[in-house]
Amino acid sequence: MEKAFTSVSAFSKCNEGRIKMAKTVLELQQITKSFTDKTKQTEVLKGIDFSINEGEFITLLGASGCGKTTLLRIIAGLESADTGSVLLEGEDITKKEPYLRDVNMVFQNYALFPHMTVAENIGYGLKTKKVPKKEIATKVQEMLELVQLEGYEKRMPDKLSGGQRQRVAIARAMINQPKVLLLDEPLGALDLKLRRQMQLELKRLQKKLNTTFIYITHDQEEAINMSDRIAVMHDGVFEQVGTPNEIYYQPETSYVASFVGNANLYHKADAVYAVRAESVLINETECTLDAVVIEKSFAGGQLRILFALSDGQKITASRFGIDYDLKVGEQAKIGWKEDSAVRVIANEN
């Protein structure tokens, strides 16, 4: 055995006494990738530079087609970059075969082997590494316990619910104790309630095993809930990398501001300011802008009031509750405190 398999419980115990130390585990250098489709060439990744620390939970957040899945597949080795390098603990693995890389992936559709039982699925990674059968069985049991699927080892994947399949997929990847675990929208197929629950569980697992996670999602709430750092991807580049707080309260570009939490973009002279809907004040002393209510809607526990300013710009304000003392068509004064407007680079399309 090249690497001794530390038992899960022992692993978590030593984890408790761990001193937090920023050690780079994965480094991406100038990654580019283009796809050619007949005559059209699309640049999917335009030079990604990034480094990830051990035990970090990183989320790649972006709309579909921003290149986040391609980046993940390049790290896994399922796709090769046109230029640039991937370094895993300092070793250049850019050209290394995917089956030799010490990273594992949780696929979007789970990709469970339909002809294998839950236990065989989870143990597959260890089987390919020729780990003795007895040891595999023990590890599989530990994993099943960890993802709360004890007693399901003999089931076939098609006899499981969506959430259970998800757990098997996670267990199958995590049993290998990869240096980095890649998760491609793993909760995308689950309903909202289950998704919330799995978010918490994933976070718990990640902390417990101290595995580095690179997590893909297009759901900003999920990203904010789970991540240590978020990388907002747009059009093949990282727009901004930062903690959920930084991304939410100090967006650097108008794309980040509007994608994460739907901030208002207020144009004044040549500058663009991001103002969160909850920071928009109505008929208070700071309010200086004339506005007309053009729409009211209730969503996500909040009432959203859409105003049109006299110059035609639209601003949304949000309030708790289901109604507010303003009717559609009514005039109002709106504004915001100076520090709740963040100047951003304009790049929204």
Partner 1 sequence: MKIKRKHSFSALLLPMYLFTILFVFLPIVYMIYISFMTRAEVWGFDTHVTLQNYMRILEPLYLDTFVRSLKLAFTTTVLVILIGYPFGYFMAKLSAKWKARMMMLMMIPFWTSSLVRLNGWVIVFQSNGVLDKILMGLGITTEPLKLLYSYPAVVFGMIYALCPFMILSVYSSVEKMDWSLLEAAVDLGANRRKAFFDITFKMTMPGLLSGVVLTFIPSMGLFFVADILGGSKVVLVGNIIQEQLTKGRNVPFAAALSVILMIMTSLIIALYRKIAGADANISGLG
Among 113, 150, 154, 295, binds partner 1 (CB under 8 A): 113
Distance between CA atoms of 201 and 300, rounded to whole angstroms? Answer: 23
Stretch that binds partner 1, among 10-18, 48-56, 170-178, 330-338 (CB under 8 A): 170-178
Each as own residue / partner, the long-range contacts of residues 133-141 (CB below 8 Å, 24 or more positions apart, any chain) are 135/5, 139/5, 139/175, 140/175
Question: 281 CB contacts (<8 Å, ≥6 apart)?
Answer: 287, 317, 334, 335, 336, 337
Shortest distance in whole angstroms from residue 255 CB to partner 1: 30
Distance of CA 16 to the CA centre of its chain: 25
Q: State whether residue 263 is helix, strand or coil.
A: coil
Stretch that binds partner 1, among 6-14, 123-131, 234-242, 279-287 (CB under 8 A): 123-131
Distance, in Å, from the CA atom of 348 to the CA atom of 28, rounded to the nearest integer, reads 26
Size, binding site for partner 1 by CB under 8 A: 22
Q: Which is nearer to partner 1, 46 or 179 (CB)?
A: 179
Residue 19 has what DSSP assignment?
A: P
Q: Does 114 interact with partner 1 (rule: CB under 8 A)? A: yes
Mask for 282-321, x = binds partner 1 (CB under 8 A):
----------------------------------------
Stretch that binds partner 1, among 142-150, 169-177, 240-248, 330-338 (CB under 8 A): 169-177
Does 35 sit near partner 1 (CB under 8 A)? no
Q: What is the CA radius of gyration of the chain?
A: 24
Cβ atoms within 10 Å of 337's Cβ, excluding its own:
11
Q: Which of 96, 129, 208, 333 binds partner 1 (CB under 8 A)?
A: 129
The yes or no reply on residue 124 touching partner 1 (CB under 8 A) is yes
Q: How far is the CB of 105 from partner 1 (least distance, A)?
A: 5
Kindly give, in sequence order, each residue whose CB lies less than 8 Å from that of residue 184, ignoring residues fewer than 6 positions away.
Answer: 69, 72, 105, 106, 107, 108, 216
Question: Is residue 273 classed as helix, strand or coil in its secondary structure?
Answer: strand
Q: Is 143 in the site for partner 1 (CB under 8 A)?
A: no
Dihedral sign for Cα 166, 168, 173, 177, please: positive
Rule CB under 8 A: choose which of 125, 163, 242, 251 binds partner 1. Answer: 125
Taking CA atoms, 116 is separated from 8, 107, 121, 141, in Å, by 24, 17, 6, 16
Q: Which of the 8 DSSP states describes residue 3? A: S
Distances 287 to 110, 117, 249 between C-alpha atoms, Å: 51, 63, 21
Shortest distance (Å) from residue 26 CB to partner 1: 16
Name the DSSP class of 345. B
Query: Dihedral of the CA atoms 207, 210, 212, 218 (nearest 10)?
Result: -10
5 binds partner 1 (CB under 8 A): no
| Among candidate residues 133, 121, 199, 174, the one with its CA nearest the CA of residue 11 | 174
Binding segment (CB under 8 A) for partner 1, from list 113-121, 258-266, 275-283, 307-315: 113-121
Binds partner 1 (CB under 8 A): choice among 33, 68, 172, 195: 172
CB of 210 to partner 1, least distance (A): 21
Cβ 127 to partner 1 shortest distance, Å: 9
CB 73, min distance to partner 1, A = 9
Residues 53-112 that bind partner 1 (CB under 8 A): 76, 78, 97-100, 104-105, 107, 109, 111-112
Q: Give the residues lining the site for partner 1 (CB under 8 A).
A: 76, 78, 97-100, 104-105, 107, 109, 111-115, 124-125, 128-129, 172-173, 176
